[in-house]
Amino acid sequence: MDDHKDTNENPPREEDQQDDSSHQHGHGESDEAVVESDEQRVEQELLEEEAHPTAEGEAALHEQHEHAGDEGEGHGHGSHEGHGEGHGGMHEGHEQMFRRRFFVSTLLSIPVLLYSEMLQEWLGFSVPAFPGSEWINPVFAIIVFAYGGIPFLQMAVPELKDRSPGMMTLISMAITVAFVYSLASVVFPTQSAFFWELVTLIDIMLLGHWIEMRSVRRASSAVDELAKLMPDTAERITDDGDTEDVPVSELSEGDLVLIRPGASVPADGIVEEGDSDVEEAMITGESKPVSKEPGDEVIGGTINGDGSLRVRVGATGEETTLAGIMRLVEEAQQSKSKTQVLADRAAGWLFYVALAAAVVTAIAWTIAVSFNATVIERVVTVLVIACPHALGLAIPLVVAINTSLAARNGMLVRDRIAMEDARNLDAIIFDKTGTLTEGEHGVVDMATVNGVDEDDALALAAAVESDSEHMIARAIREAANERNLTSPDASGFEAIKGRGVCANVNGDEVYVGGPNLLTQLDSEVPDHLQRFADEAGQNAQTVVYLVRGGELIAAFAMADVIREESYAVVDALHDLDIEVAMLTGDSQDVADAVADELGIDTVFAEVLPGDKDKKVQELQDEGKLVGMVGDGVNDAPALTRADVGIAIGSGTDVAVQSADVILVQNNPMDVVRLVKLSKASYRKMQENIVWAAGYNVFAIPLAAGVLAPIGILLSPAVGALLMSLSTVIVAINAQLLRRVDLSLPDLPGRTPSTEAQPTD
């Protein structure tokens, strides 16, 4: 704002405008140079981050927070504005960089392929020659190497410094040897050059990296979504009783703020005046609004209900509960260890195998025929063949198909490492509210006195509750609608604060309410209804009574309704030998009742927001690979801490942004599909690695000349052909992943699940 103000108050002088105009052309050229320089700098930074993903990611995170802190002045939203760009933009930058380099390099490779004598001979075509056409291959190959190949050399440097050669080292070795040998063949003519093999190898590796970056790119930051929960302004009450709108960042401990109905609570504090129900599910996990009255605590970021509250601020900024959750999310993100990709491990072994084979080849051929051009050609052939195109595509192709197949079956994969880890999960923790349950109260049981039909009692209760918007009223009306009941007309609706509601139905005064209503009406409870209420209480269910004409005629048990799919998902995970746990902020009685109903193995109840990720850590400390399924803001640290975080798609944005996999169809049964797809995908990755590395096991000895004594010697041309064949096989094998059966087994007593959807 200050920058805009300065600009408006101090317009440029006329002579400054003239000076700017006179230099406009020169500045335009300078700007173009600056833009080009900036693009190169950004690409260099991306390459460095690719080489050091963990360290650079943390540095970017730290830089974003420092920068935002300078501009945001502590404001909850502004202080995290740049974070999403730091992570989501980073992966998008990688994707765009490799995409651009792939297309440019492929275009520049076309002349090399057309003027390759070997390809002309194989494919039976020719292109016109002209003076200087013999320089097409070396010139364009040099350009492709400099533009598309140099990035791999830059990314190989950290691997060599860490003494852990991987894919980048293997690629760099192959393209460097091919490049140097091919240039030498121009000056010192040999039997063959590797120009076309060089450019196609670079193109394939760029394609593999592009596919890889596209499949792992993340949308934005979980911390950014958390910050959005806080309102921008608050209504502070002045000493004379008036209100003033102030930025949340200007609130101080001890300030008195007015929170209107439906508004967000701007900071943690204590209610001084007013009564209201506050929606705290996004913070505490409680499945119903929490009643607030003077003396009760409220949490910043929660949503006020229908009442008006005056709250004395007790904590602001970094001291609030929401800020603490944000710190937990960041810590959990940074605590994840770096997992080495399967292809990198294979590439590391191939690197050492290739070097050993090259040394043995050089020694053996020097002894056999003395040192000459043939020896050099054998060694170069071994080193170039050591890096098959297939290895660069073995994993990215499977990841891309895996991502597509998952999306068609209700799963959005945001982290490929987590998808791979899902196959080995030992335990899966489910949040209760909104995941295993509907997150809304419903009628789960009812009882009536003799002579009163259940349907009649439910229809009568629905009539009395027809004008109420309370969650219990909605549950009763929904239960009546599910039974297709027609409610009689009601009149004279009246809400009895803290007790229930009353209306006139068919000339009778009918009441619906809790135990406090019975005390007011002095109604006697029949023995069988008392037993019903006691049993409901043991199951942590709320009991609502129906009184007609002063006589208690029915009782309804209310509870957070268990989702039908939850029964099946627990049974299916048990069939896969996976432990099922439940995590909730609700009471122990409520949690135990749900766990007993579903057959859940482990229960974590009455868990505070700051302790949810600790429960995940407890299972991890037992040596278990843990998955977490949730939907609320309070689940975000646990989702991030878990080895595999799975968010219900209907949940809050922050839960989705914190997770590795999102169930976009909101079906917990997709957790089972996730495990099955993970197993199938990893198996396909292993098969592709075998095909790619198996080519080396076969080709490297032949290139070295093991069978030369019997007249079998692998030429560079045949080696290149085998390299291409290996790539085709890997691509076809990856496509077979689309045939994986993700349908779920029929479970006894349960409705069969919907059939899995194949990819296009």
The answer to whether residues 103 and 258 touch, using CB atoms and an 8 Å cutoff, is no
**Number of other residues whose CB lies within 10 A of the CB of residue 519:** 10
418/411 Cα distance (integer angstroms): 13
Which candidate in 203, 255, 268, 431 is catalytic?
A: 431
Buried b / exposed e over 595-625, threshold 16 CB at 10 Å, is beebebeebbbebebebbbbbbbebbeeebb
Q: Are 663 and 680 in contact (CB under 8 A)?
A: no
The 3-state secondary structure of 224-291 reads HHHHCCCCCEEEEECCCCCEEEEEHHHCCCCCEEEECCCCECCCEEEEEECCEEEECHHHHCCCCCEE
CB 626 within 8 A of CB 642: yes
Q: How far is Cα of residue 379 from the mean position of the Cα atoms in its chain?
A: 45
Q: Strands across the sheet with 276-279, in order?
A: 290-292, 276-279, 303-304
DSSP letter for each residue of 451-484: T--HHHHHHHHHHHGGG--SHHHHHHHHHHHHTT
Element (H, E) at 356: helix 342-369
In 465-555, where does DSSP find H-type helix? 471-482, 515-521, 527-538
Torsion, CA 305, CA 309, CA 315, CA 317, rounded to 10? 60
Report DSSP state, residue 707: T
Is-catalytic flag, 431? yes
Q: Which stretches within 115-161 are classed as H helix?
A: 117-123, 136-144, 150-161
Residue (of 150, 158, 181) closest to 53 by Cα position: 158
> 545 pairs with which residues across the strands?
513, 555
Q: Which one-letter amino acid corresponds to residue 760? A: D
Q: Which residue has the tokens 């290996």?
A: 726
CA geometry: angle at 672 spanning 670 and 674, to 5°? 70
Dihedral (Cα; 397, 403, 404, 406), 10-degree rounding: 140
| ∠ Cα 105 108 114 (to 5°) | 130
- Strands 276-279 and 411-413, bridge-based pairing: unpaired
Using only C-alpha atoms, what is the Rg of the chain? 34
Buried b (16+ CB within 10 A) or exposed e, 706-736: bebeeeebbebbebbebbbebbebbeebbee
Helix (H) or strand (E) segment spanning residue 442: strand 437-448
The rounded distance, in Å, linking the Cα atoms of 383 and 449 is 88
Handedness of CA 405, 409, 415, 419 (dihedral sign): negative
Question: Which stretch of DSSP H or E encloses residue 645?
Answer: strand 644-648
CA 575 to chain centre: 26
CA atoms of 581 and 595, how far apart (whole Å)? 9
Structure tokens belonging to residue 667 = 């079906």
| Alpha carbon distance 215, 217 (integer Å) | 6
Residue 426 half-sphere exposure, CB side, CA atoms within 13 Å?
9
- Sheet architecture: strand order including 256-259: 243-247, 233-237, 256-259, 309-315, 268-273, 297-298
Active site amino acids: 431
